Amino acid sequence: MSLKVFKFGGASVRDVERIQNVANILEKYKGENLVIVVSAMGKTTNALEEVTKAYYKKTGKAQELMEEVKQSHYRLMAELFGSQTHEAFVEVNDIFVEADWVLEDEPEDSYDYIYDQIVSLGELVSTKILAAYLRERQLPAQWLDARDVILTDDIYREGWVQWEETQKRADRVAKPMLEKGGFVVTQGFIGSTTENTTTTLGREGSDYTAAIFSYCLDAESMSIWKDVPGVLTADPRLFDNVTKLDELSYREAIEMTYYGAKVIHPKTIKPLQNKSIPLFVKSFINPEGKGTMIAPDVEDNYPPMVAIENNQALLNISTRDFSFVAEQHISDLFNQITANRLHVNMMQNSAISFRICVTDQDDKVRDFTKAIEGKFKVRIEPNLELITVRHYNKQTLDDLRADKVVLTENKIRQTVQMVVKTIPPMTRK
Ligand code: ADP
Ligand code: ASP
Ligand code: MG
């Protein structure tokens, strides 16, 4: 059985036209076995995050915000199916009812737990809608609940995949569905604990979900369909002169995405590499385009590539006594980094200090600091940007440094990383 895994992100299913476009693409694969991993539609995840915040902070707006999410889906469905009585309405409504149940009670659980229960609904409804629409178009689409396959630990909002059990469930649940032939439509981004509660894998995690399915089901290839022609040398929203890369090695793709190239979730590549499954990044706007192939045996020869990470904080950590950080304390620090699921993008150490650049997300930096401040002094510089340049040349670095204060810089072989502060326009020369 040869199987392909496709992933369609939020932008590819954000409105009726785009959903029709997805069906047009899939029509060409009618006779094939596909797992189709789908994100929440458009900006639904952001909207559900707002619902969660409102509910948790008891602003009184949660139900109203939830109603807007529901109505936008109902409007889209009415247009897509040309009727308000299509069976998909019942299925979608059943999912939204779960949100009503949560929102009716006072928030008692942790924020992260509540977040996963509410935010996961976006993927559940988008896949119900897409599967129903594909069937309407005579495409063979079964709906699979990804939570029946992907088992995670119980760290909410950032569940770590339990691979062995996930593999067993994929064999038990997903394989028989695929053996019937046709398409299996499932959700990106979500998983479940051993207690059967819903978890999420971290924002933008749908690419990773597709890689998990690809790995467990031994896919022949995985394709992610994007609004860009493939992997580019930098984010086209931030830079003008970008070019498409036709081929990338796994290693290059991991390095680029780990340091913030937003085109693929960083955890996506490793499972594919472990089984030599090629990854194609293709355009849903121009599906015939060649896109980018990420595969084994690609010769590493690249132009300069730039990735930018916002919301960075630089943490300067030093010992309170006269001990050396790297000798006596490094394991304490690393344990706390893991316990708080801090995303470390750069590390530097001297005899008595240790410096890390981390993504400043929610309360992670605060919690980490609290956990270590008994032993260490911590100085935090927030609101920074991390610029990573692979295969740099002088011109690229000079251009990037303009209008920036560089706080620290690291060079390792082909890679330069700069932690910078942007000079506000008023103070520029
Ligand atoms: P999806 O909806 O599939 O999750 P995203 O919006 O998360 O898609 O990712 C696609 C976007 O990633 C592009 O629109 C582009 O702006 C951005 N991007 C950032 N870096 C790159 C890069 N190096 N190459 C291509 N796209 C990039
Ligand atoms: N819907 C989730 C998000 O927006 C997951 C994804 O799209 O990859 O982060
Ligand atoms: Mg994305």
Domains in the chain with CATH codes: 4-226 (3.40.1160.10), 305-427 (3.30.2130.10)
Helix, strand, coil tally for the chain in percent (to 5): 40, 25, 35
87 phi/psi in degrees, rounded to 5: -60, -25
Tell me what pLDDT residue 322 has.
76
Hey, which residues does 376 pair with through a beta bridge? Answer: 319
**Pocket flag, ligand 1, residue 239 (CB < 6 Å):** no
Nearest bound ligand to the CA of residue 304: 1
**Pocket flag, ligand 1, residue 261 (CB < 6 Å):** yes
Coil, helix or strand at residue 56: helix
Note whether 212 and 166 are within 8 A (CB).
yes
Q: Strands 279-283 and 221-226, how do they pair?
A: parallel
Hey, which residues does 418 pair with through a beta bridge? Answer: 387, 409
Nearest bound ligand to the CA of residue 210: 2
- Backbone conformation region of residue 116, classed left if phi is above 0, alpha if psi is from -120 to 50, else beta: alpha
Tell me what pLDDT residue 429 has.
41
- In tens digits, the chain (429 residues) has pLDDT values of 699 999 999 999 999 999 999 999 999 999 999 999 999 999 999 999 999 999 999 999 999 999 999 999 999 999 999 998 999 999 999 999 989 999 999 999 999 999 999 999 999 999 999 999 999 999 999 999 999 999 999 999 999 999 999 999 999 999 999 999 999 999 999 999 999 999 999 999 999 999 999 999 999 999 999 999 999 999 999 999 899 999 999 999 998 898 888 899 999 999 999 999 999 999 999 999 999 999 988 888 899 999 999 999 999 999 888 777 777 788 999 999 999 989 999 999 887 789 999 999 989 999 999 999 998 999 999 999 999 999 999 999 999 999 899 999 999 888 999 999 977 655 444
Distance, in Å, from the CA atom of 416 to the CA atom of 374, rounded to the nearest integer, reads 34
User: Who's near 145: CB < 8 A, 6+ residues apart?
Assistant: 124, 186, 187
- Which H helix or E strand runs over 371? helix 364-372
Tell me what pLDDT residue 426 has.
57
Distance, in Å, from the CA atom of 114 to the CA atom of 107, rounded to the nearest integer, reads 8
Hey, which residues does 128 pair with through a beta bridge? Answer: none
Distance, in Å, from the CA atom of 400 to the CA atom of 402, rounded to the nearest integer, reads 6
Nearest bound ligand to the CA of residue 10: 1
**Pocket flag, ligand 2, residue 206 (CB < 6 Å):** yes
Read off the pTM: 0.92
- Tell me which residue has tokens 């409504």: 93
- Tokens representing 173? 């649940």
- The distance between the two most distant Cα atoms of the chain, rounded to a whole number of Å, is 73
Tell me what pLDDT residue 427 has.
46
Distance, in Å, from the CA atom of 261 to the CA atom of 241, rounded to the nearest integer, reads 16
Tell me what pLDDT residue 422 has.
78
Distance, in Å, from the CA atom of 345 to the CA atom of 367, rounded to the nearest integer, reads 18
Residue whose Cα lies nearest atom 5 of ligand 2: it is 204
CA torsion through residues 302, 303, 304, 308, sign: negative
Note whether 271 and 211 are within 8 A (CB).
yes
- Which H helix or E strand runs over 353? strand 353-359
140 phi/psi in degrees, rounded to 5: -75, 95
- Tell me which residue has tokens 């499932």: 186
Residue whose Cα lies nearest atom 8 of ligand 2: it is 204
Ligand 3 mean position, distance from CA 325 (Å)? 38
Tell me what pLDDT residue 59 has.
96
- Tokens representing 378? 């911590």
Mark 93-131 as b/e (b = at least 16 C-beta within 10 Å): eebbeebeebbeeebeeebbbbbbbbbbbbbbbbbbbbb
Angle CA 119–254–336, to nearest 5: 65
**Pocket flag, ligand 1, residue 394 (CB < 6 Å):** no
